[in-house]
A and B are shown apart, each in its own frame.
Chain A
Amino acid sequence: MVKVRGVSKKYGGKMVVDRVNVDIAKGKITSFIGPNGAGKSTLMSMISRLITKDEGEILIDDKEIGSWKSGELAKKISILKQSNHINIKLKVKELVSFGRFPYSQGKLTKEDWIHIDEAIAYMDLGSMQDKYLDELSGGQKQRAFIAMVIAQNTDYILLDEPLNNLDMKHSVQIMKVLRRLVDELGKTVIIVIHDINFASCYSDYIVALKDGIIIKEGTTDEIMDSAVLKEVYDMDIPVEIIGGNKICVYFR
Chain B
Amino acid sequence: MATLVSKRRVVGKMLGLLVLLLLWFSIQPLRAQPLAPEVCLSCHGVAGLDKARDGKKISLQVDGQAFARSLHAPLGCGACHSDASAVPHPPELKRVDCSACHAQAATDFSDSVHGKARENKDGDAPGCAGCHGSHDILRVKDPSSKVYPLNLPRTCGSCHGDPDLAKRHRIPVANAYQLYMDSIHGRALTRSGLLVAANCGSCHGAHRILPALDPNSSVHRSNVPATCGQCHAGVVRTFSAGIHGKAASDGNSKAPVCINCHTAHEIRRVDMEDWKVEIVRECGVCHAQSLRTYRDTFHGQVTSLGFTRIARCSDCHGAHEILPVSDPNSSVAPARIVETCRKCHPAANASFAKYDPHAEPANRTRNPLLFYSSRFMSGLLASVFVFFGLHTVLWAGRALLLRRRKAARSPEDREPPPAGESSPGEEEKQ
Q: Do these two chains really belong together in a complex?
A: no
What residues make up the interface of B, taking CB atoms closer than 8 Å to A?
Answer: none
What residues make up the interface of A, taking CB atoms closer than 8 Å to B?
Answer: none
